[in-house]
């Protein structure tokens, strides 16, 4: 039984177009994924906008990915309602958590200002606030006029300015260019696949016509060969 090669051609065209589109998507996804994989904050201690009644002892920030544990990479400070600083040491990093020891003073709103660097080198900065309403008997401390740690986030304009060039190097407009470029590649691949699928049927029709003509000629030759001996008789 002879298999008609024309039956496999539409499937071959579909597979070819699909492979082309998948390759284009791979070009897009490869460089674009890092653009959407930057570290994000997933929790604070104390909780943002919460009310604290006992000395927290430590203020912390948890992120979705590991942080860079290097000198000067992390800055964190706690600023009281009186504008004084209540973090009493430099911050530390434990995998995805940055923390700093802190003891609070007068009641009111305290702001935690922070800067961390993801393991991929991408810096992020931010702040969150909580309310301090000390219970009876809680001890209170007097904050410092300046951040205890030289790299304290509060009042450290250098920390924010340092983050800007790093962020530009590992995110922002560069990521947008990757996404736009990838979208262009996908669009071009789609156009190419469309044109390919439009052109191939015409070629297949010609091939089919040639094949049909060849089959007809072969059938005629076979019929004549069968009729020959009968006419001789």
| pLDDT score of 38 | 76
* pTM of the predicted protein model: 0.55
Question: What is the rounded distance in angstroms from the CA atom of residue 198 to the CA atom of residue 17?
Answer: 11
| pLDDT score of 209 | 59
| Residue found under tokens 């604290």 | 52
Taking only the tens place, the pLDDT of each residue in 76-96 is 999 999 999 999 999 999 999
Taking only the tens place, the pLDDT of each residue in 93-138 is 999 999 999 999 999 999 999 999 999 899 999 999 999 999 999 9
Dihedral sign (CA 159, 43, 30, 21):
negative
Mean pLDDT of 32-40: 60
Query: What does the chain look like in DSSP terms, one character per residue?
Result: ----GGGGHHHHHHHHHHHHHHHHHHHHHHHHGGGG----EEEEESPTT-EE-S--EEEEEEESS-B--STTT-EEEEE-TTS-B-B-S--EEETTEEEEEE---SSEEEEEEEEEEBTTS-EEEEEEEEEE-PPTT----PPBSS-SSTT-STT-HHHHHHHHHHHHHHSTHHHHHHHHHHHHHHHHHHHHHHHHHHHHHHHHHHHHHHHHHHHHHHHHHHHHHHHHHHHH-
How many residues appear in the chain?
Answer: 233
62: confidence class by pLDDT, cuts 50, 70, 90: very high
């Amino acid at each position: 039984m002879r298999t008609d090669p024309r039956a496999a051609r539409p499937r071959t065209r579909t597979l070819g177009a699909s492979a082309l589109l998948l390759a284009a998507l791979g070009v897009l996804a490869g460089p674009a994924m890092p653009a959407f994989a930057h570290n994000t904050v997933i929790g604070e201690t104390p909780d943002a906008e919460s009310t604290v009644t006992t000395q927290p002892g430590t203020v912390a920030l948890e992120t979705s990915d590991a942080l860079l544990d290097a000198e000067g990479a992390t800055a964190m400070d706690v600023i009281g309602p009186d504008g004084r600083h209540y973090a009493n040491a430099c911050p530390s990093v434990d995998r995805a958590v940055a923390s700093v020891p802190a003891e609070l003073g007068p009641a009111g709103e305290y702001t935690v200002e922070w800067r961390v660097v993801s393991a991929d080198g991408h810096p992020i900065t931010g702040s969150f606030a909580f309310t301090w309403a000390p219970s009876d008997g809680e001890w209170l401390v007097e904050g410092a006029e300046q951040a205890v740690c030289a790299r304290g986030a509060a009042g450290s304009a250098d920390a924010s300015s340092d983050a800007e060039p790093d962020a530009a190097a590992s995110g922002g407009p560069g990521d947008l260019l990757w996404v736009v470029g990838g979208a262009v590649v996908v669009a071009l691949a789609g156009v190419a696949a469309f044109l390919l699928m439009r052109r191939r049927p015409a070629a297949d029709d010609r091939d089919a016509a040639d094949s049909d003509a060849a089959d007809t000629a072969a059938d005629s030759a076979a019929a004549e060969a069968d009729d020959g001996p009968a006419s001789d008789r």
